[in-house]
Amino acid sequence: MFYITLRRISSNVLQVVEVLHPGRPTVPKADIREKIAKMYKTTPDVVIPFGFQSAIGGGKTKGFALIYDTLDHAKKFEPKYRLIRMGLAQKVDKGGRKQRKERRNRQKKVRGIKKATVSAGKK
């Protein structure tokens, strides 16, 4: 059961979602996405639920959901970490923090196109 408050913002709808689930643990976000998508006659990939917190004693969870007009709007305005969680984007592997710092400091010691060879590493 959902209790929903609507607020229209440009290309999306922000909702406060209240999920009542007595006698069972928290409801998966995938189920919430499907239910909201069915209520608003849209696809689950444009529904982004987030910020859910369970009430003390269980049986009730509150959170937020954004419904975008299109998948392109969702990818444009939604934070990257949420897109990665929903499977709509790939995580960029930057390497370790120490490796990045060492590479940056090695690049400081050379000029011009040699920076590319320093950052590429030994072959």
pLDDT tens digits, residue range 27-56?
Answer: 899 999 999 999 889 999 999 999 999 998
pLDDT tens digits, residue range 72-98?
Answer: 999 999 999 999 998 889 999 888 999
CATH of domain 2-86: 3.30.70.3370
Q: For 87, list phi and psi in degrees, rounded to 5.
A: 85, 20
- Could you list the beta-strand ranges (E) of 1-123: 2-9, 12-20, 47-54, 60-68
Domain boundaries, given as residue ranges, for the chain: 2-86
Average pLDDT of the chain, as a whole number? 87
Determine the pLDDT at residue 123: 59
Type of residue numbered 81: Y
Burial classification of residue 85, based on how many CB atoms lie within 10 Å of its CB (0-12 exposed, 13-18 middle, 19 or more buried): middle
The DSSP call for residue 118 is H
Look up the pTM and report it: 0.71
